[in-house]
Homo-oligomer: A and B are copies of this chain.
């Protein structure tokens, strides 16, 4: 599965062209989108009912809270986004992006989303997110419905001629750690 992590966000007309480019031309199976413009920037992607759109909810970076944590109606902005994701999930093709670096927020967002909306979880590996808590709070009772991603932690593991081998080994090791925590849930 190809997830094109472009975090696109634009007015409806332009979003429609981006959706066409990402899904039809680049043949992505899933994309990441940013919610600042509201439904207009999301809807053209959701029309591709066999493709998944992961919407930034609580991001993994240090300054994620600059705006995402602002409180309104007794809840932070990221919870408003989570509720909108539930509302926009008419065709069961929405997802949320939540950083592994914020386990409390991940837990809260999983509560709002329920167990039928997948969460794309970056932030383990290089960014230092906690894998155990990520599985505990991010997945369903079978340890499913989360896509846990490490990019730099694997890609930049080794720049020598043994690159392919090292990267394979690192990816397998991470998979095994993830699966060991998933086993604890079932």
Contact = CB atoms under 8 A, between A and B. Distances in A.
Contact of A40 (B34, B62, B80): B62
A38 interface: yes
A139 B71 CA distance: 32
Contacts of A13: 152
Contact of A38 (B38, B67, B81, B84): B67
A72 interface: yes
A142 to B, nearest CB: 30
Given A11-B61, A12-B61, A36-B56, A80 B70 contact: yes
Contacts of A12: 61-62
A9 B66 CA distance: 14
Interface in A22-44: 34-41
Interface in A74-101: 77, 80-81, 84
A172 interface: no
B36 A68 contact: yes
Interface size band for A: 35 or more
A63 B39 contact: yes
A9 B9 CA distance: 9
A71 B68 contact: no
A52 interface: no
11 contacts: A7-B8, A9-B9, A11-B60, A35-B36, A36-B67, A37-B63, A37-B64, A38-B66, A39-B66, A66-B84, A71-B72
Given A11-B60, A34-B36, A38-B64, 19 more contacts: A7-B34, A9-B36, A11-B59, A11-B61, A12-B61, A35-B36, A35-B66, A36-B59, A37-B63, A37-B64, A37-B66, A39-B66, A40-B63, A41-B63, A66-B84, A67-B84, A70-B70, A70-B73, A72-B77
